[in-house]
Structure 1
Amino acid sequence: MSLVGERASILLLACRWIGESFRESIKRHEHFLALELGLKPGQKVLDVGCGIGGPLREIAKFSYTSITGLNNNSYQITRGEELNRIAKLDKTCNFVKGDFMKMPFDDNTFDAIYAIEATCHAPDPYGCFKEIYRVLKPGQRFAAYEWCLTNSFDPNNQDHQKIKAEIEIGSGLPDIKTIEKCLEALKQAGFEIIWGKDLTEDSPVPWYLPLDGGQFSITNFRATAIGRCVTKYMVRALEYIRLAPKGSERVQNFLEQAARGLVEGGKKEVMTPMYFFLVRKPLSSDE
């Protein structure tokens, strides 16, 4: 991901079982979404806010579907296309540059749609979900992992408000919505709710562990205190010699702030990065 590109998630997060590696948990996270969507070989699928396409490639290989990644960042698309070629998926998967608030697709185009930690960046959740509804075929499903405030969030608690602000500023997010507001926007857009759940509630290993700088990890070294320090000075050096774009260190500092907020939000259970929902577009308006 380009440091000066869109400040999206610091990294993908997933529920993790005892004895499961971070990489294994991410793969299971993506496979679970594909299974809930009921993806079948030959279907045409849309990944909303796909980044460089890590989940896109994993889900495409798992489900044998053709996936289009929608992204508004040219650098990420170029990188994603290169990785698709390396993975031999360039014939079945592609990227389209566009805004998920105004998608460059015809009505009723896709057999399934998903979003992973992406639609939380929408300035208007209803507008984003309405666009997804428009391009999804009738009777088909949309699933997502969404960043939301939990029922434990107290808007009158200053610590909670500070955590929320750190996450929003550090990740370049608009106002983080509650789970209730998320479901309300989905219903307003026309979707039928099949089910939804904060999956962090069932995670034996804390979901925020990969971001906790106080923990040491060989497999996720860059998220540790030492790893973050190394990254900070490396980015500073690369920017100084102009191998990294101007402003890279500033973006790195924003990401640090977001990580702090996410860890505190996880420990106090006021924020979840994986509220999972599965919804359906009715077959007809009078169904």
Structure 2
Amino acid sequence: MAPIALEPEDHSRDAAFNKAMHGKSAASKGGLASMFNKDRSAHKAASEDYWRHWDDKLAGTETEEARRAEYATLTRHYYNLATDLYEYGWGSCFHFCRFAYGEGFYQAIARHEHYLAHMMQMREGMRVLDVGCGVGGPAREIAKFTGAKIVGLNNNDYQIERATHYAAKEGLSSQLSFTKGDFMQMSFPSESFDAVYAIEATVHAPSLEGVYSQIYRVLKPGGVFGVYEWLMTEAYNNEDPHHREIRLGIEQGDGISNMVKISEGLKAIRAAGFNLEVAQDLADSSDARPWYYPLDGDLTMASSLGDLVTIARMTRVGRFIAHGAVGWLERFGLAPKGTRKTADSLGLAADCLVAGGKENLFTPMYLMIARKPAA
């Protein structure tokens, strides 16, 4: 694989685009309500820039190299388009989790975050970096759970604004801060964090070794890195068209330039210099309900009436109804053109995620706990 040519950062350009597209919607309730406040021309530009990487490209002809070369723009525009839909369907913590018997959806989400913090031995007084922090849901939960001070890194201005808004709303502004930046070329000084974590975010990197090397650099000697990584399993066969269709569907619907197998992820973290202490596929378990159940449509697995409502939005029927509603809103000019296309893409990704989970081709929670040598 050829070396990655990093995209030059232009924070002024990104801030101007964010202001043009999102306006003041970052301070609104979120979800579908936020979508009505977008600038139509800016939304169209973001949509066209994202979809040029995918339209008319089949599983055998996708341009992975082009997507890797423009990873930052690809990810930034993906979240410009998808963030409000994520919050509508999933909440403010954009990740999967394991489910224990009788455990509620949001309870399980929080436990998944607590488990990572526990495995990393996070505690009060530590300075911690959240790589790819989204709208700050996990950072808020982990800050409250551990007492650590957390810096969130994100290359999407809209998500940073929403994360900052939520932190202030929950009285966590003194414990949380959010910084604009590309995780492939972090601006933080070397050896400036006690711990670093990433929850289903570094999959957006064009090179896992590249992002892990940046994390290694900003960690203090003896510091710990914990990650839930999206990876294809060793059962994945890149020569199998069906396997490739599943992988491409996940990548297209989730703004990913190129996913790799577990063995490549392990190789990347060691090549970055880390001592790997834990490596475990948490999706490969005998839990009461599989990690993908919210997307699979089996409402009998919901543990409460509240969960039933939450999960119903994510099923195929729920997505079909929402997509139809978004289509009408778009037709009458209440939602920006391209919103339904993004929603449909998320639906395709959901189906491919379920297929990848059922066929043991994909995991969204390969846990790696690694440590930077003390000397």
TM class by shorter chain equals: over 0.9
Aligned match of 2:178: 95
Aligned match of 1:6: 78
Hey, what's the Cα distance between the residues in 2 that align with 1:30 and 1:19? 18
Deviation at 1:214, TM superposition (A): 5.6
Hey, what's the Cα distance between the residues in 1 that align with 2:288 and 2:234? 20
AA of the residue aligned to 1:205: R
Structure 1 residues 13-37: Cα deviation after superposition (integer angstroms, max 9, x where no partner) = 1111121111111111000001111
AA of the residue aligned to 1:220: I
Hey, what's the Cα distance between the residues in 1 that align with 2:334 and 2:140? 28
Pick from 171, 191, 198: which aligns with 2:281? 198
SS of residue matched to 2:313: helix
AA of the residue aligned to 2:153: L
Structure 1 residues 98-156: Cα deviation after superposition (integer angstroms, max 9, x where no partner) = 11011121101111000000000101111111111111111010001000111222233
SS of residue matched to 2:96: coil
Hey, what's the Cα distance between the residues in 2 that align with 1:242 and 1:71? 31
AA of the residue aligned to 1:209: Y
Structure 1 residues 200-242: Cα deviation after superposition (integer angstroms, max 9, x where no partner) = 1123311111111464732322102232122213333443455
* Higher normalized helix content (fraction of residues): 2
Pairing of 1:13-162 with structure 2 (within 5 A): 13-162=96-245
Aligned match of 1:265: 356
Hey, what's the Cα distance between the residues in 2 that align with 1:86 and 1:241? 34
AA of the residue aligned to 1:248: T
Hey, what's the Cα distance between the residues in 1 that align with 2:229 and 2:178? 22
Structure 1 residues 160-206: Cα deviation after superposition (integer angstroms, max 9, x where no partner) = 12111111122121221111100111111111100110001123311
Pairing of 1:140-219 with structure 2 (within 5 A): 140-202=223-285, 203-213=287-297, 215=299, 217-219=308-310
Aligned residues of 1:113 and 1:132 also touching (Cα < 8 A): yes
Task: Kindly indicate whether structure 1 or structure 2 has the higher relative contact order, using CA contacts under 8 Å at least 6 residues apart.
Answer: 1
AA of the residue aligned to 2:127: K
Structure 1 residues 230-281: Cα deviation after superposition (integer angstroms, max 9, x where no partner) = 2213333443455544422221121111111101001111100000010001
Identity %: 43
AA of the residue aligned to 2:206: P
Unaligned runs of 5+ in 2: 1-30, 36-45, 47-76, 87-93, 301-307
Q: Calculate the aligned-residue CA RMSD, in Å.
A: 1.9
Hey, what's the Cα distance between the residues in 1 that align with 2:153 and 2:330? 29
Aligned match of 1:279: 370
SS of residue matched to 2:284: helix
Aligned match of 2:338: 247
Unaligned runs of 5+ in 1: none
Hey, what's the Cα distance between the residues in 2 that align with 1:251 and 1:177? 24
TM-score normalised to the size of structure 1?
A: 0.93
Structure 1 residues 39-98: Cα deviation after superposition (integer angstroms, max 9, x where no partner) = 111111100001001000000000001111101111111111110011100111010011
CA gap 1:186/1:172 in 2 versus in 1, 3 angstroms = same
Moved segments of 4+, more than 6 Å: 1-4
Deviates more, 1:206-215 or 1:54-63: 206-215
Aligned match of 2:315: 224
TM-score normalised to the size of structure 2?
A: 0.72
Hey, what's the Cα distance between the residues in 2 that align with 1:49 and 1:168? 17
